Amino acid sequence: MTTIYGIKNCNKIRNTIEWMERYQRTFKFHDVKKTPLTMSELQAIAEKVGIDLLLNRRGTTWRKLGLSDKTLTEQELLLVAHENQSMLIRPLLQRGESFLVGYDEDSFETFTR
């Protein structure tokens, strides 16, 4: 089964869920606003995919926090991401120990089989 991590009102999440339903993929949705990822979960994901791939540095949360002009360590970035999980790239899909970051229907096809 695939887990989709994201925010319910995000267009990319809605599109991902629609894709999963259209192609009859089994999934569950994890709303990170209602149930945030723990720091250890976030660290484990970052170790698998890399912190740079995980964070949306062009989004409103990144800009609102004024992070563009700052140089942060990976641990500092994880702390900021833990407190502001809306800055995670969406969708974030998990299947077993593997993760897929970002909206890409071709990748969904391979990842969700």
b (16+ CB within 10 A) / e for 6-34 = bbeeeeebeebbebbeeeebebeebebee
pLDDT in tens, 24-80: 999 999 999 999 999 999 999 999 999 999 999 998 899 999 998 889 999 999 999
As assigned by CATH, the class of the 2-111 domain is alpha beta
Please tell me the distance from the alpha carbon of residue 89 to that of residue 77, in angstroms, as a whole number: 14
Which of the four pLDDT bands, split at 50, 70 and 90, describes residue 1? very high
The alpha carbon of residue 26 and the mean position of all alpha carbons in its chain are separated, in whole angstroms, by 18
Phi, psi of 52 (to 5 degrees): -65, -35
Check pLDDT > 90 for residue 5.
Answer: yes
Query: How would you classify the pairing of strands 2-6 and 27-31?
Result: parallel
The pTM of the full predicted model, rounded to 2 decimals, is 0.93
Please tell me the distance from the alpha carbon of residue 14 to that of residue 80, in angstroms, as a whole number: 25
Q: What are the boundaries of each domain within the chain?
A: 2-111
